[in-house]
Amino acid sequence: MASDGYDVQFVTIHGHRRAYVKAGKGPAVLLLHGLGCDHSTWEPVMEALARRYTVIAPDLLGHGRSDKPRADYTLGGFANGMRDLLTVLGIDKATVIGHSFGGGVAMQFAYQFPERTERLMLVASGGLGPEVSPGIRAITTPGFDQLMSVLTLPGIRHAGMAGLRALSTAPYKATRDLDEVAAIYDTFKDRRARQAIRHVVRAVVDWQGQIVTMADRAYLTEEMPMWVVWGRDDRVIPVRHANAAAAVAPNARVEVIPDAGHFPHKDHPVRFAQIVHEFIRTTAPAKYSRARFRALLKAGGEQGSLKAVEDTA
Residues noted as catalytic: 100, 234, 262
CB 218 within 8 A of CB 301: yes
Size of the chain in residues: 313
Rounded-to-integer distance, Cα 60 and Cα 77, Å:
11
The DSSP line for 12-72 is EETTEEEEEEEE-SSSEEEEE--TT--GGGGHHHHHHHHTTSEEEEEPPTTSTTS---S--
User: What are the start-end ranges of the H helices in the chain?
Assistant: 43-50, 75-88, 101-112, 134-138, 144-151, 154-168, 178-187, 191-204, 240-248, 264-267, 269-282, 290-299, 305-308
Cβ-based neighbour number of residue 137 at 10 Å: 16
Cβ-based neighbour number of residue 300 at 10 Å: 9
Which of 34-52 are b and which e, b meaning 16 or more Cβ less than 10 Å from the residue's Cβ? bbbbbbbbbbbbbbbbbeb
The DSSP output letter for 112 is H
Rounded-to-integer distance, Cα 72 and Cα 61, Å:
9
The DSSP output letter for 114 is G
Which of 246-266 are b and which e, b meaning 16 or more Cβ less than 10 Å from the residue's Cβ? eebbeebbbbebeebbbbbbb
CB 132 within 8 A of CB 126: yes
Rounded-to-integer distance, Cα 19 and Cα 83, Å:
15
